[in-house]
Amino acid sequence: MSSPATAPPAPSNLKRIVAASLIGTTIEWYDFFLYGSAAALVFNKLFFPESDPLVGTLLSFLTYAVGFAARPLGALVFGHYGDRLGRKKLLVLSLLLMGGATFAIGLLPTHATIGSAAPVLLTVLRLVQGFALGGEWGGAVLLVSEHGDARRRGFWASWPQTGAPAGQLLATGVLSALTALLSDAAFTSWGWRIPFLLSGVLVIVGLWIRLSVDESPVFKAALAQAEQRKATTDQVERMPLVAVLRHHWRDVLIAMGARMAENISYYVITAFILVYATTSAGLSKQTALNAVLIASAVHFAVIPFWGALSDRIGRRPVYLIGAVGVGAWMFPFFALIDAKSFGSLLLAVTVGLVLHGAMYAPQAAFFSEMFATRMRYSGASIGAQFSSVAAGAPAPLIATALLADYGSSTPIALYVIAAALLTVVAIACARETRDRDLASVEAGPQGEDSNRDTRESSAADAPASA
């Protein structure tokens, strides 16, 4: 069904929307990944100095994982208000929270200054980071998906996804430059604070751009129709969370399963690699950071390609390429790192991230297309962020523990392969969503006639479809 909301937007307007989402997500991921890199490189010494070096790394990764624990709460809160008030307002708030927490980490006293209070404060700020990121992702991808041309939704919606490698690129690039310019003593003493304080400048730029964009036309149309129905029938909208769990529980489970391989493989490839390359492989911090830096640039470049391919052949086939590919690459991945050369390390990380991109690129459109408009922010965020607690949160921690217990990469490779198998099963159970109209207010949760859903539930259950 065609509607004004589904008509292709003006190219200049769409590009501005994409730019606003991309820059905002880049800043948020920069903040989040910066913590992960610092946890691998210096936080064990600064906040857990009394521990064995590997135990200190485990403890610093534990505070890293705490941020993931807060992401589901952020998904619930931001999803609820994003479905009630709109996408734009919540995106501004998420940026402020993330940037403020990151800037504060740059000012935080270490264990040497305030003792055990230092890791406690670090953990609190990490919780704020996770809460903000839990709400950021859903809003950013929906803002583009609901503005964009339906025929190229996979391509346009993949651009906010490039914010992850762009943030990784920026965070790793800044850290790499500092470790190259500063001595180890200077970097550990004060140099590590510079990237965190830089976040304050980036947030100002991000806010200026994000405040200049319009609210999603699909959301505005669905909100107007819901208010009209409420005025004429006195029906009270269900909470978005209730509507999601009633009509989209299957989609939520599929999204969670789809995230397992994508999330786990990414943090093994980009965060744990800094530990493995510098300990087991005996490579320098600078070598490991440079490999991740270059591979992240390639990752950034291939994501739009995978997104465009999902517009041509579907979301599921592209996603399966990534899941199967990542699982198959794990043993060669560690074998190349064990070769102890920069070239082999770079090849290992680059191929891993290219295959990861095949899952990450179509994810934005795929998850957006699963849910109805007035529950889309909640549904997409819950599906994406609840899985992160079991996937990305413990991934570096589990990988480090397996390395400590077995002294081998084989259990770590098997861990990622198991996640890939779970994702393959989830995608096999999913329905192809490429042809769904986000603004078609008469389609139900799985594309069937929603008149039944309207009769059974409130106006919130069927104002739009994915």
Per the document, the length of the chain is 466
At residue 321, the pLDDT reads 97
Tokens linked to 192: 């590590």
Amino acid at 383: G
Of 31-45, 91-105, 176-190, 285-299, the one with minimum mean pLDDT is 31-45
Contact 22, 159 (CB under 8 A): yes
Mean pLDDT of the region 282-301: 89
Beta bridge partner(s), residue 443 = 449
Torsion, Cα of 373, 378, 381, 383 (10° steps): -100
pLDDT in tens, 257-282: 999 999 999 989 988 888 899 888 88
Q: What is the spatial distance between Cα 367 and Cα 212, in angstroms, rounded to a whole number?
A: 26
Tokens linked to 8: 């292709």
User: Is the pLDDT at 442 greater than 80, yes or no?
Assistant: no
How much of the chain exceeds pLDDT 90, in percent?
30
pLDDT in tens, 64-94: 677 778 888 988 898 888 888 878 888 888 8
User: Is the pLDDT at 130 greater than 80, yes or no?
Assistant: yes
The model's pTM: 0.81
Nearest Cα residue to 265 out of 427, 155, 380, 399: 399
Mean pLDDT of the region 172-179: 82
pLDDT in tens, 177-194: 888 888 888 888 888 899
Contact 236, 106 (CB under 8 A): no
